[in-house]
Structure 1
C-alpha cells in the first residue's frame, strides 16, 4: 500500500488537536462531572469528549482515513476518545512512530456499547426475545375499559404503555394502568408504564360546540344492501361512558328491556327508525339498526312489541366543530377564555368579522410581534402575524389546503421565530406528577428547554420522594432544547435512569421541515455519546394505525428507527396491526443494523 506521509501526518495533527480539546473540555466541566451520578460518570465524560470533537470540521480527515481503510468516526460517538487514540496509534505505526498506548485511552469501544445496553435496560426494562428495540404505544381512552384491546397490544409486542396526562383524567389513567399491569402479569411479560406530563404546550381554546347527536350507519355492499347492521349499545347514563357506539339511558329503564324488543324512534331528521335488541348483558343492551339514524339527546325510544315505559336518550357529547381557514383568510387569536367561531358573513357572503379562536397561554400575547410566523396543528396551517396587542393578535393565513384546512379545539400553536420564555413544569404538571410518581415507571417530561427545567423536575421529584425511583424521559421538541441538549443531559445525569424522546412533530414545526433530518441525527449522536437511550416518536406507521394500510415511506421510516432504543406508536383503530408489523420489521431488520451501523449477513434471495 502506497503511503502519503504528509497526509497521514496532517491527520495525526488533527487528531492530536482533537485530543487536546477533549482534555480541555473535561477540565472546564470538572465541577459538573463531580456532581454526576456514578451511573453516568464515564458517560458524561464521553459526552464532553464528543462535544469537543464535533467542534472540528472533520470531513477531509474522514475521507483520508477511509482511503486507507480506517474508521471515519461515523459511529464512534459512544467511545470517541478510544476511537481517536486507537486510530492515531495505527497511523503512528504506519509511519513507524511511537503512539499513545490504546489500552490507556479510557472508555473502551466494547464498554461504551455495554453502558448503552445497561442504561436502556434500567430505563425500559428487558428487551423482547429476538428484538433489541422496544415498542412504546400511546393508550387510547378505550384501554381503560377494553381489557381485550390491552391484551392484544401486549401479546403483539408492546413493551411500554404511554399514557398522556394532556387527555382524560386520573380515573381513566388508573383504569389503563390496571389493565396493562394485569395483562402483562397474565402473559408473563414485562411492560413499563410511561406517563407524559402535558407541559406548557400552547393550544387553541374551545370552539362553539355542535349539536349533541350521534350518527349510526349500517355497513352496505356495492348494491346498497345491508351487510352488517349498525351496532348500538344502550348503557346506564350514570356510568358516564360515552364511546362512539354507546347511547346512555336511565339505568332503571334499561333493566326492563328484553331480548327481541323493538325500540322505535323518530330521529333528528324526522325519519322513523327502529332498534332491535339482540343481546342483554348485566350493564348493557346490544341492539341492531338496519337504516342510518341520527340520534340526539332526549330522543324517546318506544317499545312496539309490548308495553314498556318510553326510554329517553341521556346526555350525549356535542359534535366537535372546527373553523375552516383558507389562504388569505384572517384569524383573530384572543387572550380570553371564549368559544372560538368561524368568520361572520353578510348576506352577500362578505366577511364582516374574522374567525376567532382563544389561545390557552396568556404570556404569548406579551411576546409576539407583527411579521412573525405562526403554525397551527403541527404545521398543517401557516400564517403571519399582521398586528398584535396585549389582548389579541391577527394572523393572515398563507398556507392551507386548496379547499381550506379545518382548525379544531386543543390543537397546537407554534411560534418558531418567537422567544416565548415558556418552559418548565406547569401547575397542572405538578399536580399530575403526584399521580405519576405513585403509579408509573417513567415520567415523560414535555417541553424541556434548559438545565433549569431539569432542576425544576428533579426538585419536584425529590419532594415526592420519587427521585431515582421514577425513571425520566426528556422530550426534545423545540429548537431551544436542541441547542441546549449537551447542558440538559449533563444536568439530567445527576440522577439515575434517563432517556430522551425525539418528539419529531413539534420539533419539525419548530426547527423547520428542511432541518428536522439533520436535527434528529444530531440528537441520536449526542445521546449515543452520553449512552442515553432514545425513543423515536411521532407518526411512526401512523397511516397504518389510522387506516389499516401503511405507506411505503412509513415502512422506510420504521426501518430507520432501528437507530433508536425504542419506537413510539400513536393510537388508532388499527393499532394492533401497527404493533404487529413494527415488531416484525424491527426483528427482521436487526440482522442488518446495529444502531447506526450496517451489518452484513449472508445475502439471500426472497
Structure 2
C-alpha cells in the first residue's frame, strides 16, 4: 500500500468516525427524550435504531459512500435495520487496514440481524405465519358478497390470501360479522389462518352534493365553483358560478387560505381558493384532466398544501373501533395526519377491555401531512401499540403528485425498515387484472416492486381469486431475487451458455 493510499484511507476513516460520533450523540439525545413514553419494551430498540437512521439521513453522505466503495468497503446503502452497527463495522475494518487503534468495541455479530428478526416477528404478529414459498403476505379487500358467498372466500384462501381487509366505510356491523364468521369457518376447514383487518373510515373529505342551474354541468379551466357547508341558505343562482358543491367536513373553511390548491375526484379537477369565508369558499378551476369534466357528488376532495386540524374520528368511526377491538386482529387508521390523531384513536381503544399493547394498529399514509410526520406517528403509535404502515398510494399520489409519489413510497419503505415496522403496499395493485382478468405490463412490475414490502393489498374486482393466484406466483418468483433493497443472487438459467 502506497503512502498516498494510506493517507486517503485515513481521511475517509476520520470522516466516517466523525459522522458516527455525531449520529450516535444526536440519536441518543433524541431517544432519551421519548424513552420514558415507550410502554412496549419490544419497541424500544426499534425506536433507538430509527433515531440513528433519521440522524444519518439528515445529512448528505453521497461523497463518503463513493469513497468507501472505491476501497471495497460497504457503501452504507443497506443499513436501515442496523444503522450504528454498520457504521461501527466499517470503521473497525477500515481502522484495521490502516493500523488505527479504535475506541469503538467490536459489535456483536447478532446485532447485524437483530432488526431483521424484529421485523419478522412484527410481520408475523400482523399478517400471520409466512407461506412456505414467500415472505410477503397477500391482503384482499372484502366485497359485500363475502358475507354470503363462501365459494368466493374459499377460492381466495386457496389462492393465497393471508389477510382479509374489511373497509368500515361500507356496509354495516352485521355484514362485517358475517364476513368474519365465514372467513374463520373456511380457514379452519382448509387448515389455514387468515388475519382480519378492519379499516376505520376516518375523515375522508368529499363533495356531499352538487347544485347547479345547468344540466350535467361540466367545468373547464377558468370557471368558478362555490364550495359551502350549508345547503339551506344558498345564494341565488349565478351564471358566473357554474356549480355549488357541499363539503362533507365543514371545519375546513376555518383553515383554508387563498391560493391553496384543491383537487376533486383523484385530481381530475384542480382548483385554487380565490375568496374564503367562514362557511364557504369561491374556487377557480385551474386545469382539468380533459377539456371539461363534470363535478359529481361523493367524490374525494384533497388539499395538498393545507394542514387541517380536524377530528380524526366520527361517531360512526368510534363505534367501528369498538367492533374491531372485539372482532378483528388489527385496526386500520385512515387519514391520520398528526400524533394527536394517534392519541385520539388510542384513547378510544382504551375504553374497551383490551390493553393497547394487544391491539395492533395499521397507519394509512395517504396525505402529505401524514408523510411529513411519518417518524413521529410511528413513534407515537409504536410506543403503546404494535404498529404497521400502509402506503395508501391513491390519495397520496393525488396530494403529492405522481413524480413525488415515486420517491415517497421509497422513503416510507426505508423509514419503516429502520423502525422494524411492517409495510403494506396498497392501492390499485393489479387493478386491470382484478377488473378485466388481464394485467397490464406496468401492473406486473408494480406487483413485483411490492415484494419489498411485508404485505401487498388487492382491492375488490371481478377476477379476485385469479388475481390473488397471479400475485402469489409473482411474489414467489421475486422471493428468490430480492430482500428489501438487497439482491439475492441465486443461479440463473440464462448464464448457461453454449459455446461453439
Partner of 1:298: none
Aligned to 2:498: none
Partner of 1:329: 223
Alignment of 1:41-52 (within 5 A): 41-52=44-55
Listed as ranges, the matches of 1:291-370 within 5 Å are 324-336=218-230, 351=239, 354-370=242-258
- Selected match of 2:37 from 16, 35, 38: 35
Query: Any stretches of 5+ residues in structure 2 without a counterpart?
Result: 496-500
Aligned partner of 1:386 in structure 2 is 274
Uncovered stretches (5+) of structure 1, i.e. residues with no partner: 209-320, 346-350
- Which of the numbers 23, 26, 31 marks the counterpart of 2:25? 23
SS at 2:321's partner residue?
Answer: helix
1:371-423 deviation digits (Å, cap 9, x = unpaired)? 22111122222122232322322333233233533443322101112222225
Q: For 2:63, which of 60, 64, 69 is the aligned residue?
A: 60
For the residues of structure 1 that align with 2:114 and 2:362, how far apart are their CA atoms?
23
Q: How much has 1:338 moved relative to structure 2?
A: 7.3
Local SS of the residue matching 1:86 = helix
Q: Whole-Å Cα distance in 1 between the matches of residues 458 and 8 of structure 2?
A: 48
Deviation of the 1:207 alpha carbon: 5.2
CA contact (8 A) 2:31 2:47 kept: no
What is the alpha-carbon root mean square deviation over aligned residues?
Answer: 2.5
In 1, Cα distance between equivalents of 2:444 and 2:244:
39
Task: Give the 5 Å matches for 1:99-498.
Answer: 99-100=102-103, 103-104=106-107, 108-206=111-209, 324-336=218-230, 351=239, 354-422=242-310, 424-466=312-354, 467-498=356-387
1:202–1:361 CA contact under 8 A, matched in 2:
yes
Q: Does 1:593 align with 2:482?
A: yes
Change (3 A) 1:98 1:500: same
SS in 1 for 2:449: helix
Secondary structure of the residue aligned to 1:556 is helix
For 1:162 and 1:574, locate their aligned partners in 2 and report how far apart those are by CA, in whole Å: 17
Task: Please tell me whether the aligned partners of residues 160 and 468 of structure 2 are also in contact (alpha carbons under 8 angstroms).
Answer: yes
Question: What TM-score does the superposition give when structure 1 sets the normalisation length?
Answer: 0.76
Distance 1:531 1:605, change over 3 A: same
Residues in 2 aligned to 1:388 and 1:141: alpha-carbon distance in whole angstroms: 40
Counterpart residue number, 2:451: 562
Greater mean deviation of Cα atoms: 63-72 or 83-92:
63-72
Q: For residues 539 and 546 of structure 1, what CA distance do their matches in structure 2 show?
A: 11
How many residue pairs match? The answer is: 487
- In the TM superposition, structure 1's runs of 4+ consecutive aligned residues that sit over 4 Å from their partners are 337-340
1:94 to 77, 94, 97: 97
Distance 1:517 1:457, change over 3 A: same
Deviation of the 1:31 alpha carbon:
4.2
Post-superposition offset of 1:34: 3.5
Task: State the secondary structure of the residue aligned to 1:14.
Answer: helix
What do the CA deviations read for 1:93-142 (whole angstroms, capped 9, x no partner)?
11011235554469711222111111111121111220100111111112
Give, in angstroms, the shift of residue 67 of structure 1: 1.5
Q: Is the 8 A contact 2:325 2:352 kept in 1?
A: yes
Contact 1:205 1:337 in 2 (8 A): no
Deviations 1:195-240 (A, max 9, x none): 11111121111458xxxxxxxxxxxxxxxxxxxxxxxxxxxxxxxx
Structure 1 segment 515-526 matched on structure 2, within 5 A: 515-526=404-415
Comparing 22-31 with 145-154, greater Cα deviation is found at 22-31
- Residue 38 and residue 389 in structure 1: after superposition, are their counterparts in 2 closer, same or farther (change >3 A)? same
Contact 1:86 1:102 (C-alpha < 8 Å) held by counterparts: no
1:420-463 deviations in Å (ceiling 9; x for gaps): 22253333221211111111111001122222222222222122
Question: Does the residue aligned with 2:416 lie in a helix, a strand or coil?
Answer: helix
Query: Residue by residue, what CA displacement relative to the aligned partner does 1:358-380 show, whole Å, maximum 9, x if unpaired?
Result: 11001112222332211112222
Q: In 1, are the aligned partners of 2:228 and 2:245 still within 8 Å (CA)?
A: yes
Q: Is the alpha carbon distance of 1:344 and 1:35 closer, same or farther for their aligned partners in structure 2, counting shifts above 3 Å? A: closer
Larger Rg computed on CA atoms: 1
1:239: which partner in 2?
Answer: none
Looking at structure 1, the residues matched to 386 and 279 of structure 2 have their Cα atoms a distance apart, in angstroms, of 43
CA distance in 2, matches of 1:80, 1:334: 50
Determine if contact 1:81/1:107 at 8 Å carries over to the other structure: no
How far apart, CA to CA, are the structure 2 residues paired with 1:66 and 1:480? Answer: 36
3-state SS in 2 of match to 1:567: strand
Q: How far apart, in 2, do the equivalents of 1:144 and 1:408 lie?
A: 30
Higher helix share: 2
Matches of 1:83 and 1:339 in 2, distance apart? 64
Task: From the two aligned structures, give the one with the greater strand fraction.
Answer: 1
